[in-house]
Amino acid sequence: MADTLPTLLLAEHDDASLNPVTARALTAALALGAPVHVLVAGENAQAAAQAAARLDGVAEVLLADGPAYAHRLAEPVAALGVALAPAYGALVAPSTAFGKSVMPRIAALIDVMQVSDVIAVIAPDTFDRPIYAGNALQRVRATDATKVLTIRTASFAAAGEGNAAPIRAVADAAPAGGASFLGEEIAASARPDLSAARIIVSGGRALGSAENFHAIVEPLADALGAAVGASRAAVDAGYAPNDWQVGQTGKVVAPDLYVALGISGAIQHLAGMKDSKVIVAINKDEDAPIFQVADYGLVGDLFEIVPALQAEIAKAKA
């Protein structure tokens, strides 16, 4: 019977460590009610597999370790997912760039219509998901026997740690070529990861330059121990790197505190942050739409307010 089959969760990791969004997606996977196996695919990914085995609720970790899975290209990882799929009732991944690239490939090859960006599990076959940049929510029932889901991780709390699930090696699937890795530019940062941060400070077009972004937004973030985000306008203008973009087409975040500096609050930006617990907006236009979602607003020039705010935070922490 399909509903007794376990759930397979595709881990987000970089071989050396497990990305915290995996523990959040695990909470969604466990809500389906079946035992959860975590698939760690990579090269020299033993450490990530061990981290996955520590997550509470994981029944087993499957480790596919080898050169075929270096850099986790979509084609070989999807081939692996397809090979494993018959033993599972549901295949789940966090809605990361990796999960979004791999899961629809698997879904198509097993002839399943995927449910993207699940924000709530209502029943093992029924899910809520946002549409129109989160301006409407859809409740859908997936009629395919196997479910393929990507999870909006900001909507789920992280599973705890303290488990010691067994790790089992899985054999390579048939090779799936056509793509090769040429290189990557991944910015190393000491700041918390945007998708898991408790506090986020974001800057918009108002910053005016990369130098200002660096001199105004980043120090405030560091004073708060926050991750840094940006609007699309700030990224397009080159003030901030692409993976800092928050919004409908960037990262969707829900930190305890989101501070928007010189961001107007376009629907596409709000789609990425309006589920934050507390929102602060600093904007010189008192009618900026961002104030309609902000718990606390300061109307004025961010170039004056931010240094003052930093001084107050320093005082408060002293």
Partner 1 sequence: MKILVPVKRVVDYNVKIRVKADGSGVELANIKMSMNPFDEIAVEEALRLKEAGKASEVIAVSIGPVKTDETIRTALAMGADRGIWVKTEEAGIEPLTVAKLLKAIIAAEGPSLVILGKQAIDDDCNQTGQMLAALLGWPQATFASKIVVGEGTVDVTREIDGGLQTLRLALPAVLTTDLRLNEPRYASLPNIMKAKKKPIEEKSAAELGVDVAPRLEILSTSEPSGRTGGIKLASAAELVAHLKTAGVL
d(CA 202, CA 60): 38
Q: Which CB sits closer to partner 1, 239 or 291?
A: 291
Phi, psi of 168 (to 5 degrees): -120, 130
Q: Which CB sits closer to partner 1, 167 or 267?
A: 267
Min dist CB 46 to ligand FAD, Å, is 35
Helix (H, G, I), strand (E, B) or coil at 311: helix
Tell me: is residue 310 an annotated ligand-binding position: no
Neighbours of 203 (CB within 10 A): 31
Tell me: is residue 250 an annotated ligand-binding position: no
Tell me: is residue 58 an annotated ligand-binding position: no
Q: Which tokens sit at 181?
A: 């890795």
243: left (phi over 0), alpha (psi -120 to 50) or beta: alpha
Neighbours of 275 (CB within 10 A): 20
Min dist CB 202 to partner 1, Å, is 15
Binding residue (CB under 6 A) for ligand FAD from 42, 94, 99, 204: 204
DSSP 153: G
Min dist CB 19 to ligand FAD, Å, is 20
266 touches ligand FAD (CB under 6 A):
yes
Q: Which CB sits closer to ligand FAD, 3 or 285?
A: 285
269 touches ligand FAD (CB under 6 A):
yes
Tell me: is residue 242 an annotated ligand-binding position: no
Which string of x and - marks every residue 223-252 that binds ligand FAD (by CB under 6 A)? --------xxxx----------xxxxxx--
Q: Which does 213 bind (CB under 5 to 8 A by kind): ligand FAD, partner 1, none?
A: none
* C-beta of residue 267 within 8 angstroms of C-beta of residue 208: no
Q: Under 8 Å CB-to-CB from 174, ≥6 apart: which residues?
A: 79, 83
d(CA 152, CA 168): 28
* C-beta of residue 204 within 8 angstroms of C-beta of residue 263: yes
Q: Under 8 Å CB-to-CB from 127, ≥6 apart: which residues?
A: 115, 118, 120, 121, 139, 140, 142, 149
Min dist CB 311 to ligand FAD, Å, is 17
Residues in contact with ligand FAD, total (CB under 6 A)?
28
Q: Which does 234 bind (CB under 5 to 8 A by kind): ligand FAD, partner 1, none?
A: ligand FAD
Tell me: is residue 245 an annotated ligand-binding position: yes
Q: Which CB sits closer to ligand FAD, 51 or 298?
A: 298
Tell me: is residue 249 an annotated ligand-binding position: yes
As beta bridge partners, residue 93 has 150
Helix (H, G, I), strand (E, B) or coil at 106: helix
Q: Which does 105 bind (CB under 5 to 8 A by kind): ligand FAD, partner 1, none?
A: partner 1
Distance of CA 114 to the CA centre of its chain: 18
Q: Under 8 Å CB-to-CB from 215, ≥6 apart: which residues?
A: none
Q: Which CB sits closer to ligand FAD, 74 or 133?
A: 133
Choose the stretch contacting ligand FAD; rule: CB under 6 A; options: 7-15, 106-114, 299-307, 310-318: 299-307
d(CA 298, CA 305): 8
Binding residues for FAD: 205, 231-232, 245-249, 262-269, 283
Binding residues: 205, 231-232, 245-249, 262-269, 283
Binding residues for ligand FAD (CB under 6 A): 204-206, 231-234, 245-250, 262-264, 266, 268-269, 272, 282-285, 288, 301-303
